[in-house]
């Protein structure tokens, strides 16, 4: 196997009638997947798209998006998934990428047969994902085929033909590479989980019962462990990560299935270290190197028994497609990536994450540079000082003067927007004049907790708005505003719905509101749900 397409083609030759993809009520066999992807390949080849080119896949998560991405790789190009919604942050990504083609639909069946060009090799680019540095500008990271193929050699990931694996991650993030391409290359059945179902433990549980292996972000993993631990019962294993795993959640899940902590920066092919847990633990380690990767702790950075983790091997990205090399470097004549993560190493070689050397954090699996978020407020004309911190697992903004929140919404992706803001007379400082991060974090945490949950008015809308504020720390000026655009993610929205359901005995789900997530939408759903709950022949109160 020299590439992702060749590995999937081999699976198609071995078991052509095995189900490759399940998406809602539809399914594709490996034979059908190969045929449809080849039509995409032919259309691209006819346009001169091949090795060295990049293709944007602009299609919602699902079988069609996978077909488009596979077809792009079969043509020899690299794909990136991007929703072309016209926003400023998407425009900046396009400027950084400069794609050669955009795919938003499959070609029709009536096209001419076009011979395939050279088959991609293991060193060619397979996919491109974006990260951001201290400047806040998007940085496209190009990852080769061999970085994905190496994952097939690590049994801890559960990539075994004949099994079923969930597809929960957005295609634009590299966890999807493990689920989709790792799964298909191994001959598994990939089961697509709709975006609106991932953060709702009850709905997600119905999908987890259909599969053997699943990837969950640390936040979703914790939600399932807390609210629906029985969802783990049928899994052979669950791989979780994106940020530090919660010890309590791990020890809840590990009593029901094998838990694998998956650690790794985008620049080293999805995973760098894995830690498999089969019984309760006292500490959640990040483990030992994935197959095809070697790591070392840089002795020159040692402080209090910790040092920076450096990665080597087949997982390394080719680099950033635009701009400087960043953490890519040469160590002892060998190419390497300096992760910026500080680790402690046990005597048995197991690594434990300690922290970062910079201001990068992870929220719901997204890597965010706090300085870049602050810079966006400056660029939007925010007055005076502002500091963005991580408080209680979410971003919080502490600022002096106007925050220009509305203008920042168009410049940043929704997942990097602070979910709370606090206006102060001055930013707390340490005696040395530097920001007192602990004091600022406490201020931000106070904005997301201890909020009065009493409805602001007797109306349903007032109650819904109060539930949003109690859960997220935000009271929106316009009840029709998109909650996602205000930095309120799907997990926080699910918590809002659970608050309302607990109070009224309703069963609102993320699926109900995902297409139009606003206070007004939730209010109407609540009105409908409570009206339908009034027994026939009775009158509601006036």
pLDDT, one tens digit for every residue, the chain (542 residues): 799 999 999 999 999 999 999 999 999 999 999 999 999 999 999 999 999 999 999 999 999 999 999 999 999 999 999 999 888 888 989 999 999 999 999 988 766 668 777 889 999 999 999 986 545 578 899 999 999 999 999 999 999 999 999 999 999 999 999 999 999 999 999 999 998 899 889 999 999 999 999 999 988 898 899 899 999 999 999 999 988 888 999 999 999 999 999 999 999 999 999 999 999 999 999 999 999 999 998 877 777 788 899 999 999 999 998 777 778 999 989 999 999 888 999 999 999 998 776 666 777 667 776 766 776 776 666 544 566 767 777 787 877 666 566 667 667 777 778 877 777 766 675 444 446 677 777 777 776 543 333 333 346 777 788 778 777 666 676 777 778 777 777 788 888 888 888 777 788 888 788 777 888 888 888 887 776 554 433 333 32
| Residue finishing a domain among 319, 354, 389 | 354
Q: Which uninterrupted H or E stretch holds 238?
A: strand 237-241
Give the domain extent around 152. Answer: 4-108+118-354
> Do 268 and 330 share a structural domain?
yes
| Residue finishing a domain among 447, 481, 497 | 447
> Do 132 and 223 share a structural domain?
yes
Domain-located, residue 56: yes
DSSP 371-424: HHHHHHHHHTT--S-EEEEEETTEEEEEESS---HHHHHTTS-GGGS-SEEEE-
> Do 368 and 335 share a structural domain?
no
> Do 187 and 310 share a structural domain?
yes
| Residue finishing a domain among 321, 354, 387 | 354
> Do 347 and 372 share a structural domain?
no
Domain-located, residue 411: yes
> Do 271 and 415 share a structural domain?
no
Strand duo 164-167 + 189-192: pairing: parallel
> Do 144 and 97 share a structural domain?
yes
Reduce the secondary structure of 136-204 to three states and give it as a string. CCEEEEEEEHHHHHHHHHCHHHCCCCCCEEEECCCCCCCHHHHHHHHHHHCCCEEEECCHHHHCCHHHH
Domain-located, residue 90: yes
> Do 436 and 398 share a structural domain?
yes
Nearest Cα residue to 472 out of 417, 526, 515? 417
The dihedral sign for the CA sequence 303, 306, 312, 318: negative
Q: What is the CATH number of the domain that holds 441?
A: 3.30.300.30
The pLDDT score that the predictor gives to residue 447 is: 62
Residues 242 and 175: beta-carbon distance below 8 Å: yes
pTM of the model: 0.77
3-state DSSP helix/strand/coil % of the chain, to nearest 5: 35, 25, 40
Half-sphere exposure of 368 (CA within 13 A, CB side): 26
> Do 208 and 98 share a structural domain?
yes
Domain-located, residue 275: yes
C-alpha pair distances (Å), 72 with each of 5, 123, 200, 515: 10, 16, 32, 29
Domain-located, residue 299: yes
Domain-located, residue 208: yes
Return d(Cα 132, Cα 174) in angstroms, integer.
Answer: 14
> Do 77 and 8 share a structural domain?
yes
> Do 183 and 273 share a structural domain?
yes
Residues 147 and 311: beta-carbon distance below 8 Å: no
> Do 477 and 424 share a structural domain?
no
The pLDDT score that the predictor gives to residue 484 is: 79
Domain-located, residue 539: no
Domain-located, residue 233: yes
Nearest Cα residue to 451 out of 402, 513, 504, 392? 392
The packing angle between helices 519-533 and 490-504, to 10°, is 30
Q: 113-138 in b/e burial notation, b at 16+ Cβ within 10 A? A: ebeebeebebebbbbbbbbbbeebbb
Q: What is the CATH number of the domain that holds 473?
A: 1.10.1200.10
Q: How many domains does the chain have?
A: 3
């Amino acid at each position: 196997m020299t590439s992702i397409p060749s590995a999937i083609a081999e699976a198609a030759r071995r078991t052509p009638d095995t189900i490759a993809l399940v998406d809602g009520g539809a399914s594709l066999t490996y034979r059908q997947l190969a045929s449809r992807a080849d039509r995409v390949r032919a259309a691209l080849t006819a346009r001169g798209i091949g090795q060295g080119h990049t293709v944007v896949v602009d299609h919602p998560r699902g079988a069609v998006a996978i077909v488009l991405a596979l077809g792009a790789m079969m043509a020899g190009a690299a794909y990136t998934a991007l929703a072309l919604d016209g926003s400023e942050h998407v425009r900046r990504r396009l400027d950084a990428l400069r794609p050669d083609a955009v795919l938003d639909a499959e070609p029709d069946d009536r096209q001419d047969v076009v011979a395939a060009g050279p088959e991609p090799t293991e060193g060619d680019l397979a996919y491109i994902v974006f990260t951001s540095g201290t400047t806040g500008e998007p940085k496209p990271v190009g990852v080769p085929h061999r970085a994905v193929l190496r994952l097939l050699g690590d049994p801890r990931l559960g990539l075994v033909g004949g099994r079923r694996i969930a597809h929960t991650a957005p295609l634009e993030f590299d966890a999807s590479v493990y689920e989709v391409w790792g799964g298909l290359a191994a001959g598994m059945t990939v089961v697509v989980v709709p975006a609106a179902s991932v953060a709702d433990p009850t709905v997600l549980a119905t999908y987890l019962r259909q599969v053997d292996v699943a990837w969950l972000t640390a936040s979703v993993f914790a939600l399932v462990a807390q609210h629906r631990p029985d969802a783990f019962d049928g899994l052979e294993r669950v791989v979780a990560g994106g940020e530090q795993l919660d010890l309590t959640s791990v020890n809840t899940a590990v009593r029901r299935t094998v838990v694998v902590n998956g650690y790794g920066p985008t620049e080293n092919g999805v995973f760098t270290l894995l830690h498999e847990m089969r019984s309760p633990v006292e500490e959640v380690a990040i483990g030992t190197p994935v197959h095809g990767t070697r790591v070392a702790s840089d002795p020159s950075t040692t402080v209090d028994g910790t040092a920076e983790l450096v990665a080597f091997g087949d997982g390394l990205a080719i680099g950033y497609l635009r701009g400087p090399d960043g953490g890519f470097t040469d160590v002892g004549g060998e190419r390497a990536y300096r992760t910026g993560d500080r680790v402690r190493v046990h005597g048995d070689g197991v690594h434990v994450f300690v922290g970062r050397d910079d201001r990068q954090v992870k929220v719901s699996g997204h890597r965010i540079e706090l300085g870049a978020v602050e810079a966006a407020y400056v660029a939007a004309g925010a007055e005076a000082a502002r500091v963005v911190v991580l408080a209680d697992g979410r971003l919080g903004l502490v600022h002096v003067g106007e925050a220009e929140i509305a203008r920042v919404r168009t410049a940043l992706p929704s997942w990097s927007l602070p979910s709370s803001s606090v206006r102060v007379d001055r930013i707390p400082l340490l005696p040395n004049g530097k920001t007192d991060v602990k004091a600022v974090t406490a201020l931000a945490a106070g904005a997301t907790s201890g909020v009065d949950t009493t409805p602001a008015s007797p109306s349903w809308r007032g109650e819904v708005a109060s539930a949003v504020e109690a859960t997220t720390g935000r009271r929106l000026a316009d009840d029709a505003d998109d909650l996602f655009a205000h930095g309120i993610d799907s997990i926080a929205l699910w918590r809002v719905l659970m608050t309302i359901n607990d109070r009224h005995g309703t069963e609102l789900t993320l699926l109900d509101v995902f297409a139009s997530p606003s206070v007004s939408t939730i209010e109407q759903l609540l009105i409908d749900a409570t009206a339908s709950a009034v027994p026939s022949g009775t009158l509601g109160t006036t």
